[in-house]
């Protein structure tokens, strides 16, 4: 039986390949990059002139009692007016590259308008991870970010929530702007109300400043996750952002067919939310509904509520979000009806999506609307804008990536038995801000950016199908036998085998004889235990049904193992989730193998049995549980 998909055109389906020296090869799309805007501001001007009343962005009203109300909208016309006023206020303060704007807050209408004001005036800005201010206890990463940027103005949405972090890290001579009063009493300093920036009268000087910006003007800084080293500030220029948006339009023609409608929670301090989705909304004259939910037990209900009400035309999320949506759609008719009513494509990034979740979504879609929704994905990174590689057909499987977008060249380089993919194109960053050594190390002798990602051909006999993911080269390691462990594919196998009960996995065993696994379970594991909903997660993980289930998962996996590098000999179920503050996981849910291993070193050593007193027994295929970083 032929599988029916909702119609979706793929813009790049063929590539060219040329061979270089020493096993290196180069791959490009077989079509050129079309003309693109000189600056992202040109697109704001376009939509403010041609569709001034169209909604650019919306967010639910936040009431004083903590509840939420109706959607509040900002039109393109209003967005331009606000950008001019805010831009004038920033020019009056003589802000610029050496004194940019730092935004500490979550996604919001105020955040968006302040960003547009910066862009209009040619003042770089940086959306900083809220976790650095609200979860961190030492504010070490926030302090590093501000020391790197030396901002002339710091914005926070809420003085009460961000006051402690501001007090600890922001120099007394740096202006602090707050969206919500009271302003001074909460953090012991004189602050400016955001309304003052909105009320600034724009003059011809701000329009002149806008016209003086160009392709090489720095728009923003986006910091890397900094899990193993200090976060680096990736320079983002107008050329990067605009070229990447045109690349997206050609790889995903659906973006140009109608103004896109997004319901999106992805944080703007990350490239997925802040460049990819914020940018495609602005570039294509779309509307972004800010989703204050997240794929967590506490906040997922907000996302589901929004998706029952607002029907997106394209829907983006990370694998944990799609996992929760797949479960919810099985018993929620209104969610199925609204979410599937006009969506043209689902798109995931940030981590691998387990095939069982994929299959569950397709099953529900076929039952509800008689066709499947294409699940798009690809590969990219902060330094590539981020869009770099995208799938070529609806027949996508877990791990598939696709082919390079237009105007960008891939360099495939043999590294430690794998093939690293490297990037060159107008969407690639010129480097890291105030970090010349790191910039020099990031590019090779032909000025290709070294991604650290490994790929394989989906079908070496048909290169037009493109690539599949083969893990992060830096995550791979050797056992004591000298055998390489390919972490990415191995993690994907374990997550798929344990779906829907495994959130993520970190592999252990560097320079040891056997592979171990630290398993972060999903909340669905509670249903396996048979215990009351009020039972602690520790009790759930210790329960006999849960232990038996995971034992069986690993047993089945090991039946197809080909040697020590593909056999999990021991594992631990972790009750403590990965920590954002410690860099174990990013805001959007991507696990960092090295950070987890570093911060949970005692647990790893105990798992592999070096004599530490703990509940973990060094027996093959035993399943201890742990509640912390140490035994």
CA distance 456 to 468: 5
Return the closest-CA partner of residue 146 out of 163, 122, 165: 165
pLDDT number for residue 631: 27
Report d(CA 61, CA 67) in Å as an integer: 8
Number of helices (H), then strands (E), in the chain: 23, 29
- Cis bond leading into 386, ω under 30°? yes
- Quote the pLDDT of residue 330: 93
What confidence score (pLDDT) does residue 20 get?
Answer: 97
Distance of alpha carbon 485 from alpha carbon 567, whole angstroms? 10
Kindly list the averaged pLDDT for each block of 10 residues, start to end, along the chain of length 631: 91 97 97 98 98 98 82 98 98 98 97 98 97 88 96 94 94 93 63 96 98 98 78 97 98 97 96 97 98 90 97 93 92 97 92 80 96 95 96 90 98 93 98 97 97 94 94 80 79 86 89 86 87 88 88 86 84 84 68 84 81 34 45 27
Taken as a whole, the chain contains a residue count of: 631
Per-residue pLDDT tens for 361-402? Answer: 999 999 999 999 999 999 999 999 999 999 999 998 888 999
CB 270 within 8 A of CB 316: no
Cβ atoms < 10 Å from Cβ of 229: 11
Residue 608: the pLDDT is 83
What pLDDT, on the 0 to 100 scale, is given for residue 186?
A: 58
Question: Could you report how far apart the first and last alpha carbons of the chain are, in Å?
Answer: 53
- Give the per-residue pLDDT at 181: 64
Q: Tell me 352's DSSP state.
A: P
pLDDT at residue number 612:
32
Q: Which of 576, 567, 573 has the alpha carbon at shortest distance from 545?
A: 573
Helix axes 140-149, 159-169, angle to 10 degrees: 70
User: Buried b vs exposed e over 66-89: b needs ≥16 C-beta within 10 Å?
Assistant: eeeeeeebbbbbbbbbbbbbbbbb
* C-alpha to C-alpha distance for 352 and 494, rounded to whole angstroms: 11
pLDDT in tens, 418-461: 899 999 999 999 999 999 999 999 999 999 999 999 999 999 99
- The confidence score (pLDDT) of residue 548 equals 86
């Amino acid at each position: 039986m032929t599988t029916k998909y909702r119609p979706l055109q793929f813009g790049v389906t063929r590539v060219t390949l040329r061979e270089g020296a020493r096993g290196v090869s180069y791959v490009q799309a077989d079509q050129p990059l079309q003309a693109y805007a000189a600056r992202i501001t040109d697109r704001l001007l376009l939509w403010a002139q041609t569709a001034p009343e169209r909604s650019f962005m919306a967010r639910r009203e936040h009431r004083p009692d903590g509840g939420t109300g109706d959607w509040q909208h900002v039109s393109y016309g209003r967005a331009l007016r606000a950008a001019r006023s805010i831009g004038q206020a920033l020019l009056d303060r003589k802000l610029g590259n050496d004194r940019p704007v730092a935004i500490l807050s979550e996604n919001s209408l105020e955040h968006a308008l302040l960003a547009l004001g910066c862009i209009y005036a040619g003042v770089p800005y940086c959306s900083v991870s809220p976790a650095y201010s609200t979860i961190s206890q030492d504010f070490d990463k926030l302090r590093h970010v501000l020391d790197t940027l030396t901002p002339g103005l710091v914005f926070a949405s809420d003085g009460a929530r961000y006051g402690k972090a501001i007090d600890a890290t922001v120099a007394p001579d740096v202006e602090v702007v707050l969206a919500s009063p009271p302003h001074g009493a909460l953090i012991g300093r004189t602050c400016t109300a955001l309304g003052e920036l909105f009320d600034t009268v724009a003059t011809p000087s701000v329009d002149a400043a806008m016209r003086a910006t160009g392709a090489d003007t720095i728009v923003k800084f986006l910091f890397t996750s900094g899990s193993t080293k200090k976060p680096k500030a990736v320079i983002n220029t107008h050329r990067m952002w605009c070229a990447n948006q045109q690349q997206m339009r050609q790889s995903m023609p659906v973006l140009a067919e109608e103004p896109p409608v997004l319901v999106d929670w992805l944080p703007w301090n990350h490239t997925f939310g802040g460049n990819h989705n914020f940018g495609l909304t602005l570039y294509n004259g779309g509307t972004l509904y800010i989703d204050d939910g997240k794929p967590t037990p506490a906040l997922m209900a907000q996302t589901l509520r929004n998706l029952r009400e607002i029907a997106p035309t394209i829907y983006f999320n990370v694998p944990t979000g799609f996992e929760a949506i797949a479960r919810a759609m099985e018993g929620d008719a209104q969610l199925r009806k609204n979410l599937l009513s006009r969506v043209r494509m689902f798109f995931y990034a940030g981590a691998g999506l387990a095939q069982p979740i994929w299959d569950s979504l397709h099953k529900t879609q076929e039952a509800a609307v008689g066709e499947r929704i294409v699940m798009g994905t690809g590969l990219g990174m902060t330094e590539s804008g981020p869009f770099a590689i995208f799938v070529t057909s609806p027949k996508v499987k877990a791990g598939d990536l696709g082919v390079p977008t237009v105007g960008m060249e891939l360099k495939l380089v043999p590294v430690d038995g794998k093939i690293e993919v490297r990037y060159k194109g107008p969407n690639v960053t010129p480097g890291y801000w105030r970090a010349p050594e790191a910039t020099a190390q990031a590019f090779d002798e032909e000025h290709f950016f070294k991604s650290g990602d490994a790929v394989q051909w989906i079908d070496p006999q048909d290169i037009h199908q493109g690539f599949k993911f083969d893990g992060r080269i830096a995550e791979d390691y050797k056992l004591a036998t000298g055998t390489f462990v390919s972490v990415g594919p191995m993690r994907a196998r374990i997550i798929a085998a344990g779906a829907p009960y495994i959130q993520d996995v970190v592999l252990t065993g560097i320079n040891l004889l056997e592979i171990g696994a630290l398993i972060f379970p999903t909340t669905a594991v509670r249903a396996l235990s048979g215990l009351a909903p009020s039972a602690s997660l520790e009790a759930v993980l210790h329960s006999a049904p849960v232990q038996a289930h995971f034992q069986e998962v690993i047993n089945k996996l090991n039946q197809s193992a080909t040697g020590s590098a593909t056999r999990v000999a021991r594992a631990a179920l972790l009750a403590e989730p990965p920590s954002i503050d410690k860099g174990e996981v990013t805001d959007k849910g991507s696990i960092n193998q090295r950070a987890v291993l570093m911060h949970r070193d005692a647990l790893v050593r105990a798992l592999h049995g070096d004599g530490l007193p703990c509940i973990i027994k060094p027996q093959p295929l035993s399943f201890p549980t742990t509640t912390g970083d140490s035994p």
